[in-house]
Amino acid sequence: MKGLRVGLGEFTEARPEAERGVTTSAALSSPPGECLWYCGLGTRGPERRKRAGKIVLQSPILPPTWQASVHKQDWNVTWYTPHPDLTQCFQHTVLVWFPCFYLWVCAPFYCLYLRFYDNGRISISSLCCAKTGLGLCLASFGFLEMVYLLVERRRDIERHIVFLLSPIIRSLTMGFSADAMRFVAFFTFFSLQLAQLILSCFADQRPATLKPVYVKNPCPVEDASFLSKILFWWYGRLVVKGYRSPLKAEDLWSLREEDTSEKIICDLEKEWAKQWAKMQQQENALNGAQPLGHKLSEQKQLLRKLHKEQSSGFCLLRTLAKNFGPYFLTGTLCLVIQDAFMFSIPQVLSLLLGFVRDEDAPLWKGYFFAFLMFLLSCLQSLFNHQYMYTCFTVGMRVKTAVMGLVYRKSLVINSAARRTCTVGEIVNLVSADTQKLMDFVVYFNAVWVAPIEITLCLFFLWQRLGPSALAGIATVILIFPLNGFIAKMRSKLQEVQMKYMDGRIKLMNEILSGIKILKFYAWENAFRERVLGYREKELNALKKSQILYSISIASFNSSTFLIAFAMFGVYVLIDEKHVLDAQKVFVSMALINILKAPLSQLPFAMSTTMQAVVSLKRLGKFLCQDELKLESVERVLYHPDVDGVVIDNGTFSWSKDNTPCLRRINVRVQRGSLVAVVGHVGSGKSSLLSAMLGEMEKKSGHVTVSGSVAYVPQQAWIQNATLRDNILFGRERKDSWYQRVLEACALLPDLEILPARDTTEIGEKGLNLSGGQKQRVSLARAVYRKADIYLLDDPLSAVDAHVGQHIFEKVIGPNGVLKNKTRILVTHGLSFLPQADLILVIEDGEITEMGSYAELLSRKNAFADFVKAFSVSERKESATHRGTRKSVSRLSMTDFSIDLSQEQLISGDMGGASIQTMEAISDAEQEQDQEEVGRLTQADKAHTGRVKLEMYVEYFRTIGLAFIIPIIFLYAFQQGASLAYNYWLSLWADDPVVNGTQVDTDLKLGVFGALGFAQGIAIFGTTVAISLGGIIASRHLHLDLLNNILHSPMSFFESTPSGNLLNRFSKEIDAIDCMIPDGLKMMLGYVFKLLEVCIIVLMATPFAGVIILPLTLLYAFVQSFYVATSCQLRRLESVSRSPIYTHFNETVQGVGVIRAFGEQSRFILLANSRVDHNQTSYFPRFVATRWLAVNLEFLGNLLVLAAAILSVMGRATLSPGIVGLAVSHSLQVTGILSWIVRAWTDVENNIVSVERVKEYAETTKEAPWTIEDSPLPSDWPRSGSIGFQEYGLQYRRGLDWALKEISLSVNEREKVGIVGRTGAGKSSLALGIFRILEAAKGRIFIDGINIAEIGLHELRSRITIIPQDPVLFSGSLRMNLDPFDGYTDEEVWRALELAHLKNFVSGLPDKLNHECSEGGENLSLGQRQLVCLARALLRKTKILVLDEATAAVDLETDNLIQSTIRTQFEDCTVLTIAHRLNTIMDYTRVIVMDRGHITEMDSPCNLISQRGQFYRMCREAGLV
């Protein structure tokens, strides 16, 4: 009913008959009249009836001249009079009928609207009752009127039945007419109507049944009234709240249902699926049309690929248009209406200037024009902001849609596609490319509306100046191609810039993933240089693009002048009788100012469209990547009699075009059996499991999997969540089973150590767990599943031998919790093979042998020889079993305490509350929230309140005063020139006309031209200066950020999610690169423009100062409200954006596991909730801008009203020239005000990026990399002796000691093995030597030099580690071995030969330049381990630390590595943190550690004879 009531309220009743000569206002306030179908009927007294009748009733048969005079008489009453009035006829027909017809025309549409919105039900409230009561009262008035007419006017009715029409029409739409007591009746009626109008401004609430359930804080726009919606009043409450105290996430409204990911993506996916199917058909048709055996030329293939990318982009656009088009078109309608109002304003200005020139014109006309201009301006701004609101809403939905599609796609793309699309690129798709599409939605309409607006402007200019307007067209035509050319060049440059930015982000992602390796090898500088290389190229492209943009801006900002100069110049020069008066000059200037908007929007719209096309192509290309073929594996339901996994004659490869890496595979795995898969590094063991999961391209054969699957990958994938969530992985928690799984996977002792037990948060990629713990969590996740088939990719390699034995017995083996399940285990451990039901031996992608352990040994083939060489005798085997059984009972806290970086868990106090210390804690403290204790990563925090002044100071300081002073000077000069040429024009317009001409037109034109061109040059200067200043600042800030990150200690990376850091390097740096300089250009330009307008208005009417001052104060007041809220919303939006990227990152890396477990739908819901959470702060953020603009433009329109009214009042003293100057400039104020605030807010919002980039300057840093004047000899360490003096290590102050008072000396060339249970402190020793952790007490000496006194790089570059996790970076293989290019190719090849990689590398097409993919994924884990060995061989330092380095390779490769280390590092000191005790049995010394102490230390023989802890460990491993 809302619309109905407004309709009724606004258009009121028929106007009464009035005495002759009564003015309009009197006529309109007299009671609703007697004479409704009028033109003479129903007046009191026959005389008047006659008189009126003469005029109107007989008019159809009057002679034409009389009719003309009647018409003229009407205008004499209404327009050509000092006391205007509406004619009786108009009052009693148009004013009565229009509202009624309006209502009747709208009624069917309104009924239709109600039909679709729950039949228009509203909740019964006091507001609803009041409206209904008033409506009934008004209706009863109407019927009273009819009754009165029927009784009192019977005679009139008999004569003129038509007389009844008006009251009937009105009573049907609640109208009224009265005679007796007419004043009482009229005023009662009028008050009721006014009350009804006011009540109609408030909306009725929806009934409770229609309100969404479970919505905590619903968005008020859904229940807002029509008026509140168009003026954005519904938003006011949030602004006030934000002004009083900084907004928090819980203050924000929930998303409307139509804005949620679920709703948007559900609709979109169906549409995209149709489009995708069509494209597939087309592609298949193309491929089918090709003759068999015919191969396409490379060129044709490339063309076809490009065509596919292009068409996929357009398909995506079509899909988006189908879904969001209809709503977008409603906005477009608002834009068209806004344009109509915009073009009316110069016409009214023309009338106003005509009035000022005509001294005889009645004063009311001036006021009428002034108010009309005000009204049109207000309506224009309302429709404009409705349009913008629609655009941003559509933009927001497009962003949600695209993010959803990309995320869903990343869950289904196949392995070959995953290699081409790195994590960095996918993150860029959802950050940068979605932003480009949002911009496209906002500016797209300008592409077609702008040319229409330009045409209309030129048409109206033609009316004023005749053919001279063509000169303006010529100028526009010159400006256009120039800007088109610039836009095209910028588009190319932007692609280049995006390419380098992609590269930089990808590299940063790898640096953050492999930061530990970078620190161990002291490679930070090499990678820093690589990042800066990308950055420099990116900035060069940006600089060129910005200079071109400056030319573009200068040509546009000078376009007003250039067009005016061309038109006025031609106009006065072609005929000296052509005179420029105020009307011509200032109406033309107003039209040219309108022309500026489409002229400036068009190139921007074109460039945005170009960028959007590039982004659509990129998105289309990604969305059209090949997906996993579900049919490659036939999944059947579980049946106890059916084999678990069957592969018949399978041939598999990683992509369509690659050669097969598994050939002639025939496997039949019986239900409930244990199958072991063995083979050398790179033989295809992991590939076999991938083939069973359907992750590989099936070339031929058949794969059947019966029942559900659980998968444990070779490299554990751990989520950034609590330990419990990692194990449950979306399942419900069943306590007894959960405890059993923890016990079986040997995780209970670890829980004792973790600060919050199983609610401890695990960092990204399991940062705060040791390799063994990660693998055990990964295994527990699979076991908890209770799946039918288990695919285990070497889960025991990362754990200690005794833990491996425990897990095999308790989980995998014949008596483990999985004993009745089908298990396929890839392993290098020979001790487990006798218990396997079937062993598959793989060599070079083929199964060479198959059978039970006994069968394979009896065949005496390669497998039997291998086992003989590496296994120990049967006697030892049986001893192992006895020993293990004993040892299992002892797997207590002692065995499994903390290792490597467990205590780093708690290492995250980054300015946050420090986490509970582990010393004696009082009871009260012990009750501290578990969750707090276990928290590790710091969520991205939003700063609150306004941006600090220091940030601006910081930003401008990096630009430097040398830049800032000229910029300010150039701006002042530019606006001074603009003011001068405008004032010059007003003087010209007031120039008296002598004999039909004006004097000195050439001089006037010359001065006008000179001032204008001076302004243009100044504009170019300012924009270039600001752009270059911005680039200087962003270069510095990026460099500082990079240096701060690289100098941070390891603990920082463990507690800071990489998503946060990547966000700084991508989004925040992008904002500093482009947004801040653009915002500053805009803001300064408009601030100086505003000063110019104020000066002009004050020059014309000094009295305007009285209005300008309060308006300024009001403006500042409104703006302060807005900026506080807007900045906080920007921060909240920034903070909620990081988790999206972190989640994307995590998903892409763990996609294999997610797919194997069938958890895609849960991850999709998680992604949806993160995107929705981000949109919750984005939605109020863009509405804030609309709220502000509507309010500000109203203030600006008040200035227009003030300038116009003061000009009308002072027309006796003012010349038309100065009035035209003042009013035409005041018309620009609305735009200027909203742009200033928008630009200021953009700057303030984006300066937050400076704040966020600078925040890492305050975090703790590690010791300096190099120390100047260091006394270190160049060949240090010469001997390689190491000494520990009462050395103690803590992971963080207040925590238990990881190493306690270690005193020990290692002689030169000594080989020392370090053993101990998990968590004994073995790896802590290595971290101490490399100063990854600094000593808490004591010292370490290498060759007699205290390592704490030298630079970190001096230390780390002179000793070598082969770390547990082999990390490779994308780039050439050579770069991975020698990033500083310090060695010759011969040396590199020699290292590869010694690392047993020479054959493999020389077989690669690019040899040393072979491109390693991100994380080295195109090499097997064992090959990566060998690359790490090659790095060590290349550095050949005097000290080598091996950290469980052979855990991921098979025994044969392990043997090769061991022999290489023995021969090549013979004259070096070697410390080995050993997993497999057989590797250290020939070492000179073994150190046994327990809980941070050294418990035993001697040669292996002596330790065995002492029968202590080492002896027990050897017995468990079957070595004694």
Model confidence over 100-111: pLDDT tens digits?
888 889 888 888
Q: What backbone phi and psi angles, to 5 degrees, belong to 944?
A: -125, 165
- Residue 1261, pLDDT above cutoff 60: yes
Contact 679, 843 (CB under 8 A): yes
Q: What backbone phi and psi angles, to 5 degrees, belong to 997?
A: -135, 165
- Residue 9, pLDDT above cutoff 60: no
pLDDT-derived band of residue 63, with 50, 70 and 90 as boundaries? low
Calculate mean pLDDT across residues 226-255: 87
Calculate mean pLDDT across residues 8-30: 36
pLDDT-derived band of residue 1096, with 50, 70 and 90 as boundaries? confident
646 HSE (CA, 13 A, CB side): 11
- Report the sign of the C-alpha dihedral through residues 521, 522, 524, 525, in that order: negative
Contact 896, 877 (CB under 8 A): no
Greatest alpha-carbon pair distance for the chain in Å reads: 141
Name residue, tokens 């240096």. 1043
Please give the Cα distance from 820 to 717 (Å, whole number).
26
Contact 514, 988 (CB under 8 A): no
- Residue 896, pLDDT above cutoff 70: no
Q: What is the pLDDT of residues 380-394, one digit of tens each?
A: 989 999 999 999 999
Q: What backbone phi and psi angles, to 5 degrees, belong to 1318?
A: -55, 130
Which residues lie closer than 8 Å to 248 by C-beta, 6 or more apart? 1132
Averaged confidence pLDDT in the chain? 79
Residue 261 corresponds to which tokens in the numbers above?
């990911």
Calculate mean pLDDT across residues 1372-1376: 85
Q: Classify burial at 127, counting beta carbons within 10 Å of its beta carbon; exposed 0-12, middle 13-18, buried 19 or more.
A: middle
pLDDT at 800: 75
- What residue type is 638 in one-letter code? Y
Please give the Cα distance from 721 to 939 (Å, whole number).
12
Contact 721, 761 (CB under 8 A): yes
* Angle between the N-to-C axes of helices 1216-1254 and 582-623, in degrees from 0 to 180, rounded to the nearest 10: 30
Q: What is the pLDDT of residues 560-609, one digit of tens each?
A: 788 888 888 888 888 777 788 878 888 888 888 888 778 777 777 887 88
Please give the Cα distance from 1403 to 1409 (Å, whole number).
12
Residue 1482 corresponds to which tokens in the numbers above?
């020939």
- Residue 911, pLDDT above cutoff 50: no
- Residue 333, pLDDT above cutoff 90: yes
pLDDT-derived band of residue 34, with 50, 70 and 90 as boundaries? very low
Q: Which residue has the higher pLDDT, 1451 or 1180?
A: 1180
Is the pTM value of this prediction over 0.85? no
pLDDT-derived band of residue 1144, with 50, 70 and 90 as boundaries? confident
pLDDT at 649: 87
Please give the Cα distance from 1504 to 1511 (Å, whole number).
5
pLDDT at 288: 65
Q: Classify burial at 255, counting beta carbons within 10 Å of its beta carbon; exposed 0-12, middle 13-18, buried 19 or more.
A: buried
Calculate mean pLDDT across residues 1252-1267: 82
Contact 1186, 1180 (CB under 8 A): no
pLDDT at 389: 93
- What residue type is 1044 in one-letter code? N
Q: Which residue has the higher pLDDT, 510 or 2?
A: 510
Looking at the chain, the whole-number percentage of residues with pLDDT higher than 70 is 85
Tell me how crowded residue 347 is: count the other CB atoms within 10 A of its CB.
17
- Residue 116, pLDDT above cutoff 90: no
Please give the Cα distance from 871 to 880 (Å, whole number).
12
Please give the Cα distance from 1300 to 1287 (Å, whole number).
7
- Residue 750, pLDDT above cutoff 90: no
pLDDT at 922: 33
Contact 1236, 1088 (CB under 8 A): no
C-alpha distance from residue 217 to each of 389, 942, 1133, 1172 (Å)? 21, 21, 18, 14
pLDDT-derived band of residue 376, with 50, 70 and 90 as boundaries? very high
pLDDT-derived band of residue 379, with 50, 70 and 90 as boundaries? very high
Cα-Cα-Cα-Cα dihedral of 421, 426, 428, 432, to 10°?
A: 120
Calculate mean pLDDT across residues 611-622: 87
- Report the sign of the C-alpha dihedral through residues 428, 432, 437, 438, in that order: positive
Q: What backbone phi and psi angles, to 5 degrees, belong to 321?
A: -65, -40
pLDDT at 1164: 92
- What residue type is 1411 in one-letter code? E
Please give the Cα distance from 1321 to 1304 (Å, whole number).
15
Nearest to 704 by CA among 781, 634, 651: 634
Q: What is the pLDDT of residues 197-213, one digit of tens each?
A: 888 888 777 776 666 66
Region of 1117 on the Ramachandran plot (φ > 0 left; ψ -120 to 50 alpha; else beta): alpha
Q: What is the pLDDT of residues 805-827, one digit of tens each?
A: 888 888 888 888 888 888 999 88
Q: What is the pLDDT of residues 1056-1093, one digit of tens each?
A: 877 788 888 888 888 888 888 888 888 888 888 888 88
pLDDT-derived band of residue 1118, with 50, 70 and 90 as boundaries? confident
- Residue 36, pLDDT above cutoff 50: no
Alpha helices in 514-558 (DSSP H): 515-521, 524-557
C-alpha distance from residue 1182 to each of 100, 866, 1312 (Å)? 38, 69, 65
C-alpha distance from residue 1446 to each of 91, 255, 1472, 1475 (Å)? 99, 52, 10, 8
Please give the Cα distance from 202 to 226 (Å, whole number).
8
Which residues lie closer than 8 Å to 41 by C-beta, 6 or more apart? 35, 49, 52, 53, 57, 156, 160, 163
pLDDT at 917: 27
pLDDT-derived band of residue 1432, with 50, 70 and 90 as boundaries? confident
Of the given ranges (218-232, 436-450, 1265-1279), which has the lowest mean pLDDT?
1265-1279
- What residue type is 1291 in one-letter code? Y
- SS3 call for 1368: coil
Element (H, E) at 618: helix 582-623
Element (H, E) at 1472: strand 1469-1473
Please give the Cα distance from 1191 to 1185 (Å, whole number).
10
Calculate mean pLDDT across residues 661-689: 86
Please give the Cα distance from 1393 to 1029 (Å, whole number).
52
- Residue 413, pLDDT above cutoff 70: yes
Q: What is the pLDDT of residues 1305-1345, one digit of tens each?
A: 888 888 888 888 777 777 788 888 888 888 888 888 888 88
Calculate mean pLDDT across residues 1393-1421: 81
- Hey, which residues does 1486 pair with through a beta bridge? 1313, 1498
Q: What is the pLDDT of residues 772-795, one digit of tens each?
A: 888 889 999 999 988 888 999 888
Please give the Cα distance from 1298 to 615 (Å, whole number).
51
pLDDT at 383: 93
pLDDT at 14: 36
Calculate mean pLDDT across residues 1145-1164: 88
Q: What is the pLDDT of residues 516-570, one digit of tens each?
A: 888 888 888 888 888 999 999 999 999 999 898 888 888 877 887 888 888 888 8
pLDDT at 1165: 92
- Hey, which residues does 665 pair with through a beta bridge? 650
- SS3 call for 639: coil
pLDDT at 70: 58
- Residue 53, pLDDT above cutoff 60: no
Please give the Cα distance from 857 to 477 (Å, whole number).
88
Q: Classify burial at 852, counting beta carbons within 10 Å of its beta carbon; exposed 0-12, middle 13-18, buried 19 or more.
A: middle
Name residue, tokens 């039997």. 864
Compute and round to an integer the Cα radius of gyration of the chain: 41
Contact 915, 1055 (CB under 8 A): no
pLDDT at 395: 92
C-alpha distance from residue 764 to each of 218, 421, 954, 1055, 1139 (Å)? 34, 21, 32, 9, 12
- Residue 1376, pLDDT above cutoff 70: yes
- Residue 40, pLDDT above cutoff 50: no
Q: In what order do the strands lie in the sheet with 1439-1443?
A: 1360-1362, 1439-1443, 1469-1473, 1311-1316, 1485-1490, 1493-1498
pLDDT at 939: 56
